[in-house]
Structure 1
Amino acid sequence: MVSGCSNTVSTKNEKTSVDSKKLQIVTTFYPMYYFTKEVAGSSVNVELLIPNGAEPHDWEPTAKDMIKIQNADVFIYNSQYFELWTEKVLKSINDSNLKVVEAANGIKLMDALESEDEEEHGHSEHTSSKDPHVWLSPVLSQVEVNNIAKALEQADPKNKDQFQKNAEALNAKLADLDHLYKDTVDKAKKKEFVTQHAAFGYLAKQYGLTQIPIAGLSPDVEPTLGKLTELTELTKKKNTEVIYFEEMTSSKVAETLAKEIGAKTEVLNPLEGLTKKEQEKGLDYLDVMKNNLESLKLSILD
C-alpha cells in the first residue's frame, strides 16, 4: 500500500473540494483533534483521521487516508510510540510543504514497564517500549496544546494571536481540571486502582496514585491464567471493590476478575476515541476526564 500510494496521491495544487484559503489540518485520533480544534477555532479546517469508535492501537491508514495526509498543510499526531504507522507513512509522502507535528515532543516518556508499575505486568513488547498515553494527564496535555499552537502559528502567522489566545483559554481549563484531580486525590483513603489496560500511568504518576493493570499498553492483550490468578490474590488482599474497563474494547477480562473477587465494574475511559453514547450526549475531552474522576472516586475515596 505504502509503495504504491505515492503515485496516486494528488498534490496540493489539485485540491478542489476544500476551502483552499483555510489551513488544512489532519489529526490522528480524538485528543489530538480536540486540542487542535480548540486552538485553531474557526480559522482552519481540522479533520479527524481515526474515526471515533475505532480502536487506534490496531488502526492502519488506507490509501485514501494517506491522500488526506498528503493534501494537508499540517499533520498532527501524538507520538511515534502510539501511532506506530506514522514513520512509514510519512516516508512515503513526497511533500516537503507538509508540516508534521508530534504533539508529545519534549515530554519525557516513561518506559512501558515503568508505567505499568511492575515488571511482570509488561505485555507490551509487541507495541512499544515507551508509554505514549500522555494526554491523560491534564498537566502534560498542556505541553501538547502548546506544541500544537506553536505549529499552527508557524503555518498560519496571520492568525497567530488567535491561536495563542485559544491555547491559553484551553490550558486554563486543563489547569482547572488538574486542580480538580488534585483536590480529590488529596482526600483519597486509597491510592490504587485496577484497570483493564495500562493507559493511566501518567495520570497515576501526576497525582501519586498507582494503577494496577490487568493487561499491558495494548488493550487487546489478555493476561495469562497465571497472571489472572496473581491479580485475583492481589486484589483480594487489597480489598479492591472496583475493576475498571473501557467501552471500546471487550470487558470480558475485567468482568471475570471482578466476579472472582466480588467487585463491581466501572468505566474508565482512556480517551482514545469517544463512544457513540458520549458523542450523542455531546461530551468532549474535559467532560470525559471529569467522568473519569467520578469513577476513580469509587476506588480511592471508599
Structure 2
Amino acid sequence: MNVRRLIPTAATAGAVTLGLLALSACSTSDAAGVDGDGRLKVSASFYPMQYLAEQIGGANVSVTPLTKPGVEPHDLELKPRQTAELNDSGLILYLKGVQPAVDKAIEQSGVKYKVDATTLTRLEHFDTAGGHDHGHEEGHEGETEAEHEEHAAEGEAGHEEHQDEAGADPHVWLDPVKYAEVAKGVGAQMEKADPDHAADYRKNTDALVAKLTALHTDFEQGLRNSSTKTFITTHSAFGYLAERYDLEQEGIAGVDPESEPSPARIKELQGIAKKDKVTTVFFETLASDKTAKTLASDTGLRTDVLDPLEGITDRSKGDDYIEVMRSNLAALQKALGAK
C-alpha cells in the first residue's frame, strides 16, 4: 500500500491524528459513564447501596447491582463481565469492608466518582455481644450538623481519614439515622457526577431522608416499652440498631455470618437467655439457620427471621428496604414483648 497516496502531507497527517484524538476523547469522556438514554451509569456493590442509588437517582440513573438476588454478598467474586461493567460506570457506590473482592476491583478502577459509604458516617466497634466499644469512637464526634453534612459531601475525598476504621462494624444501613446520613452524602456525590440533574437528586434525597426519619420514629416508639431488651441473633449485624434503640444484641457468631460459635459461647447464650427472659433466636434469610434452631431447641425458645437486608429475595418479608425493616420491627416487638 502506498502510504503517501493516503496521507500526502505531514499537515494532513496531523489533522487526521487530531481528529481521531478528539473523537476518542469525546467517546471516553462525554459518553463514558452514561447509557444510551443519557442516564448516569451507577454500579452498586450490594442491596443497601443499590437501594440508595435507585431512590436518589430515580429516572436519571441506570443502576447495576454487582451482587445478584440470593447471593451472600460477603463472599462475592466478580466475573470479568462485572469488572468491565464496573469500569464503565459513571459512579460507583460501595461500602468498604463488606466485600473484599469488590474493594480490590474498585481500588484498581479508573472511575472518577467512587463513593465509599463508610466515609459518609461514623463507624463504630462492637464486641461479639453487640455492645459498643467506646474506645473506638472515631470520625465525626463533636461536629456540628453543618460540619457533618460538609464532611459527608466530601465522599471519597474523606476516605484517608477513615483508615483507622479497620475492623469496625460496617452494618450502618440497619440504623435508619445513619443510613439517612449516608443517603445525604450519596446525593451530594450524584450532584457532582451529574450536575445537570442536581435538583432532581436533591429532591429525591430529601424524600428518602423523610422516609428514613419516619422509619426511625416508628422504631423508637415501637421499641420504647418492652419486657426485655435482649435479643439473640446468628449474625451480629444489628449493633447500630441495638445501640440506637437501647437494646442488647447477643450474637451467636460475630459480624461475619459464616463464623462458627464456640461451645463456651453457646453455653453463655443459654445462661443469658434464661437470665434476660429471651424468647426468640433470630436467623437471617441468606445464611443457614441450623445453629439458631439448635440453640432454640436446646433452650426451649422459638425462632424467627431478623433480616440484615444484605439482599432481597423471594424469601424476604418485603419488597424493599423500608418494607423489610418494618417486618424487622414487628419481629423485634413480638420477641421483646413490646407494649
With structure 1 as the length reference, what TM-score do the two structures score?
A: 0.86
Deviation digits for residues 52-105 of structure 1 (CA, Å, limit 9, x no counterpart): 110011112122211111000100002x22122344213333x2x431001231
Structure 1: distance between partners of 2:321 and 2:55: 11
Give the superposition deviation at 1:161.
0.6
- Equivalent residue number for residue 15 of structure 2: none
Structure 2: distance between partners of 1:144 and 1:179: 18
Which of residues 101, 104, 107 in structure 2 aligns to 1:88? 104
5 Å-filtered alignment, 1:96-115, equals 97-113=111-127
Structure 2: distance between partners of 1:166 and 1:15: 24
**Greater relative contact order (Cα 8 A, min sep 6): structure 1 or 2?**
1
Unpaired segments ≥5 residues, structure 2 = 1-26, 134-165
Structure showing greater radius of gyration is 2
- Equivalent residue number for residue 51 of structure 1: 68
Query: Residue 60 of structure 1 aligns to a residue in which SS?
Result: coil
CA-atom RMSD in angstroms: 2.2
Which of residues 311, 328, 332 in structure 2 aligns to 1:273? 311
Structure 2: distance between partners of 1:282 and 1:239: 29
Give the superposition deviation at 1:114.
7.3
Query: Residue 75 of structure 2 aligns to a residue in which SS?
Result: coil
The reply on whether 1:27 has 2:44 as its aligned counterpart is yes
C-alpha spacing 1:239/1:24, structure 2 compared with 1 (3 Å) = same
The reply on whether 1:263 has 2:301 as its aligned counterpart is yes
5 Å-filtered alignment, 1:180-219, equals 180-219=218-257
Which runs of 4 or more aligned residues in structure 1 lie more than 6 Å from their structure 2 counterparts after TM superposition?
13-17
Structure 2: distance between partners of 1:152 and 1:141: 16
Unpaired segments ≥5 residues, structure 1 = 1-10, 120-127
- Equivalent residue number for residue 53 of structure 2: 36
Query: Which amino acid counterpart does residue 65 of structure 1 have in structure 2?
Result: Q
Contact in 2 for aligned 1:70/1:98 (Cα 8 Å): no
Aligned residues: 279
Contact in 1 for aligned 2:48/2:321 (Cα 8 Å): yes
Alignment identity in percent? Answer: 32
Contact in 1 for aligned 2:42/2:92 (Cα 8 Å): yes
Structure 1: distance between partners of 2:216 and 2:74: 26
Choose 98-107 or 143-152, whichever is displaced more: 98-107
Give the superposition deviation at 1:236.
2.2
Give the superposition deviation at 1:17.
11
Query: Which amino acid counterpart does residue 26 of structure 1 have in structure 2?
Result: S
Give the superposition deviation at 1:225.
1.7
Structure 2: distance between partners of 1:191 and 1:15: 51
Which of residues 262, 273, 276 in structure 2 aligns to 1:235? 273
Deviation digits for residues 212-236 of structure 1 (CA, Å, limit 9, x no counterpart): 1000001111101222122112212
